[in-house]
Amino acid sequence: MTALVTRQVQEQQWHNLLEREVARHLDTNLETGLTSVEVTKRQEHFGANELKGKPGKSPFVRFLLQFHQPLLYILLVAGAIKALLGQWVNAGVIWGVTLINAIIGYVQESKAESAIAALASSVQTNATILRNGEKVQVPSTELVPGDIVLLASGDKVPADVRLIQARNLQLNESALTGESIAVEKDTETLRPDTPLAERTNMAYAGSFVTFGIGRGIVVATGEATETGRISQLMEQGTSLKTPLTRKFDKFSKTLLYVILGIAALVFAVGLGYGYSWVEMFEAAVAFAVSAIPEGLPAVVTVTLAIGVSRMARRHAIVRKLPAVETLGGATVICSDKTGTLTENQMTVQAIYAGGKNYIVTGTGYSPIGQILLDENPINWKNSPALKECLIAGLLCNNSHLEKKDDQWQVFGDPTEGALVAVASKVGLTRTDIEQKMPRLDVIPFESEFQYMVTLHERGTEENPTQRTIYIKGSVEAILNRCPQMLDSQGNLTSLQAEMVHQEVDAMAHQGLRVLAFAKKYVSASHERVEHTDIKQDLIFLGLQGMIDPPRTEAVRAVQACQEAGIKVKMITGDHAVTAAAIASRMRFNNNGKVLAFTGSQLAQMDTHELATAVEDGVVFARVAPEQKLRIVEALQSKGEIVAMTGDGVNDAPALRQADIGIAMGGAGTEVAKEASDMILTDDNFASIEAAVEEGRTVYQNLLKAIAFILPVNGGESMTILISVLLARELPILSLQVLWLNMVNSIAMTVPLAFEPKSEGVMKQPPRNPNQSLLSKSLVRRILIISVFNWILIFGMFEWIEQTTGNLALARTMAIQALVAGRIFYLLSISQLGIGILNNLRGIRQKIGDTRAIVTGIVCTIVLQIIFSQWSLMNNLFSTAPLNLNQWLLCLLGGLPMIAVAAIVNRITSSSI
């Protein structure tokens, strides 16, 4: 194995070299391939032709990492302290909450590190090669640089290959380049700066041969392939935390410092009053337990899980819980074109025949639709030129359509499927036409000639003994062979080439792919068709312009996202003109403009220029995988929360880098799915908009949960702190605090997770990603309600304790009054309470599904009756049973919460 071969394999731009130069650099024989001895040497040097992922963390370590959160640290420590004090019930409940949270997180994220393994399996296959002068089939893992590979229709390309022979060779490279149509291949040498998607003399690992045959030299294997470079990009990509986890980390750390600081103050003040350190240690623990919102992690997890369930009903499967909220906070959505925004079905939308322009309605391969002239349906029998153009598309065609599971599918080339579909819209079928004009011979499409030709029995009605040649292909290949054309009545007239070119330009500016059609009559003795038969004297029949049209629901979804202040950008492997046309149809815009950039332009930009381009641009066409990754990183550097969609191997690094990666469930590769946070089951952009709506609702409900839970902790901790400072009996015990923080809080807070979406949720701009979890208005709300809760607890306790001398009764009534106040507060922030209040004011408001809130309130009342009236609970929690008058007194104590909540809503200018 020479050093020259090693260096050239790593450094060469193979698409820029002649075949003989490639063979010389790789020290191989184009006719016989490598010898077995040389293969063995190269296998030892280059290793197996496979991708190897970095070692993943063990399941046990990944489970332990679920506890790596400051808020859970507080709970774990609190549980440990309770255990040291012998309060095992308290400790068990606290630890149980952390364990449940960890289990849910572990299950949701257990597959997050398997993207590289999926990527490796996507390129493993068998390969037909030349070795020792013989054709043999070997596993793709045994290939080495310099091997001669033979490719045929249906094969998966086993490594990166420089083509040296190509006959009608077409490859589907969509998983790597994003190009939605099969790419025609040749062997011509290309410029060094040719973009990946335009390297027509290369075949890349993981691509599929859809047509023709070819031969090439393996120039890269394993991690040196383009697919391998993508796997390295995925490993190098930063695993970003979601906005929610970042905010919770910051909130939890702040809460930790505050609790520890005040607990230390309680301990020091108590010692100053002369209490023993053991008594003060217990008081400090009681304060810490009262201040820690033990139920919050469970409520957050439940809220996110409910969001997951709602999104699943709207065709979005969430793989990682925090992604629910992240999508709701997205400020930019980067979407691939194929399938997500479009139908992923080529559709003829414009026809030019007989000097007239026809519009075609309907989308996809379905026969539903019409052909219109001046907005009126036509009778094709009265339009002979149109009829001939449609028949040419039907007969000069190797594809067919079938209906499966209520969906029309194309078997063959998508472009040819569109030609069959448009003819079927006026009742023309290939079966009927071929019965009258059976095919006799064919010249398959070849990229060298840019056309396909078929020979058919029967000519004109006037001379049925003639035979007809039909031809379809590029305008350039056909038009200069046509001296004549059909006019609107089907009569021959001189070709008006300039007018035809104007029509071609007009279709191209709409992003349509244009095919030209022609025919020629030959004698009845013509048995075969040759290239020489169509060099001249063709009759031009017309043009058909087709496109993969935007989904109707996706157009509405894009508009909804833009109205919600979310920027929508298209990142695709397709041509810039096609992509820009789709963007214009879908009304993509940035300040009213559709600015498009190509991958070549992006490659020449520095970091600052790229950041400006991604901010201003709407369409990014012909981009390479690393450029998709750079686009996402540039947007994130601008402070954007980026959602990225994709379906191919080439999308995987960007999907992983994005704040939320969205893969296609139908057309998506396993690599893309494993690298993503969310999967769309219907591959539809409209489902993204629906998921954004659900994500915003989830975040809104999370804020409601925080605004509901924290004031209770605030009131409890203030009660304990002030009681210690005033050297008074504690109005509430630590075990009673635990009941309120866990059982009571969860019973009333979980229903908030089921709150329906509020009106106008998609009319608001995205929240500032840098905004803290606790906004100023939310902090004011928490403080005001906390003070009221403290007054309620302390006041009720002092009153009852002073009048009855019964400590257990005073504590029980203080707790029940607090719960009554909480029920009124719950109504004030729920849509049920807001709707009732508005209707009482004469403001008609539809109240959504409020069964969860009602159920939560009923369960809370039942639990609190058990809490005070059951003797077992009296012994466990040191409570006392209440009579009817005492229950009414507790209810009256909580009643002022209605006025307090109304004042808070006015002060904070919001009901949350």
Q: Which tokens in the block code for residue 786?
A: 């906390």
The helix-helix angle for 884-894 and 776-804 (nearest 10°) equals: 150
Amino acid sitting at position 294: E
Annotated active-site residue 336? The verdict is yes
Distance from C-alpha of 907 to C-alpha of 706, rounded to nearest angstrom: 18
DSSP 11-57: H--GGGS-HHHHHHHTT--TTT-B-HHHHHHHHHHH--SS--PPPPP
Amino acid sitting at position 33: G
Distance from C-alpha of 257 to C-alpha of 849, rounded to nearest angstrom: 40
Let me know if 167 is exposed, middle or buried by CB neighbors in 10 A (0-12, 13-18, 19+).
middle
* Nearest residue to 826 (alpha-carbon basis) of 859, 872, 793: 859
* Nearest residue to 567 (alpha-carbon basis) of 619, 610, 524: 619
Distance from C-alpha of 633 to C-alpha of 627, rounded to nearest angstrom: 10
Distance from C-alpha of 240 to C-alpha of 764, rounded to nearest angstrom: 26
- Contact present, 288 and 721 (Cβ < 8 Å): no
Distance from C-alpha of 371 to C-alpha of 386, rounded to nearest angstrom: 10
- Contact present, 586 and 558 (Cβ < 8 Å): yes
* Nearest residue to 732 (alpha-carbon basis) of 800, 681, 673, 675: 800
Amino acid sitting at position 167: R
Distance from C-alpha of 255 to C-alpha of 111, rounded to nearest angstrom: 32
Distance from C-alpha of 870 to C-alpha of 593, rounded to nearest angstrom: 70
Tokens 């071609």 belong to: 504
Catalytic entry in 147, 155, 160, 336: 336
Helix or strand or coil: residue 718?
Answer: helix
Distance from C-alpha of 884 to C-alpha of 890, rounded to nearest angstrom: 10
Q: Which tokens in the block code for residue 332?
A: 């930019």
Tokens 């010389």 belong to: 24
Distance from C-alpha of 685 to C-alpha of 552, rounded to nearest angstrom: 10
Distance from C-alpha of 217 to C-alpha of 517, rounded to nearest angstrom: 37
CA distances to 253, 482, 517 from 485, rounded to whole Å, are 78, 7, 10
Tokens 């999370």 belong to: 702
Counted residue by residue, the chain has a size of 912
Q: Which residues are catalytically annotated? A: 336
